[in-house]
Amino acid sequence: MDARIKILLSRYQRYVIVALVVCLSISILGFSVKYFSMEQNEKKIETLERALMDLKAAMNIDSVRQFNIQKVMKIIDQHNPSLPSSVKYEIANEIYNMSVKYTNLDVELLCATITYETGGTWNPTATSQAGAMGLMQIMPATGIFLAAYENLTWTNAEEVLYKPTYNIRLGARHLSALIDIYGLEGGLAAYNGGEKQAALWLANNKADGILATETQNYVPAVLKLYNEYQKFSM
């Protein structure tokens, strides 16, 4: 075999090798593109599934919110049907917000407290002989103290405590803190009669004669309303 033929064969072999390398590279690139495309599609599907789950969760939360708001509005209608619908909704919405904010409160307990505190009127400007004001019957001195924690600007008692959303925010904070310390019954007793009296009552196993008559009646009365509202039918 002469040198010329050897050179031609060598070139041919190189061309074959190059062609094989090119084909193999194209195959690998095609597989990589296909794999990358599949991976991207899988990521898109996962993103879509997460978005759908988030949407479903949001819809469920909104359904719970609307159910509770409608329930509170129906309770208000039983006691103060002449209250403007916009005010009813504002009150109901704030009660729901507080039930979410404080895990030891729910809408039924807040409604029971308001019903009893306002003498069944649900009047935002209700005022007791002792000077307690608004839906949750807050004393001005207590209101000033609570407003500082809620970052509410205290102008005067009427402007703050007669505003339903502010009153509920302050009252819910106070009631939640008391229940956290003294439990449900003790917290209600403290809300109505003061912490000292409630602590003494609990220390004596809730014996009769320790709480003031008003507070002694207050605790079971609110709990009775609470039980009724828990069974309240829509």
Distance of alpha carbon 64 from alpha carbon 78, whole angstroms: 22
Written as one letter, the residue type at 153 is T
pLDDT of residue 41: 58
The residues with which 226 forms a beta bridge, in sequence order, are: none
Domain boundary assignment for the chain: 54-230
Per DSSP, the residues of 163-212 read SHHHHHHHHHHHHHHHHHHHHHHHHHHHHHH-HHHHHHHHHTTT-TTSS-
In whole numbers, what is the pLDDT of the chain averaged over residues? 85
d(CA 15, CA 63): 71
At 103 the pLDDT is 95
pLDDT of residue 232: 80
Burial of 52 (0-12, 13-18, 19+ CB in 10 A): exposed
pLDDT for res 28: 54
- pLDDT, position 122: 98
Question: For residues 89 and 69, is the Cβ–Cβ distance under 8 A?
Answer: yes
pLDDT for 201: 98
DSSP letter at 191?
Answer: H
- pLDDT value of position 172: 98
What is the pLDDT, as a whole number, of residue 60? 59
In the structure encoding, which two tokens stand for residue 75, read together?
Answer: 């309770």
Spans in the chain with pLDDT lower than 50: 1, 4-9, 16, 18, 52, 54-56, 58
**pLDDT reported for residue 6:** 46
Q: How far is CA 221 from CA 21, 39, 175, 179, 209, in A?
A: 89, 63, 16, 17, 17
Q: What is the CATH number of domain 54-230?
A: 1.10.530.10
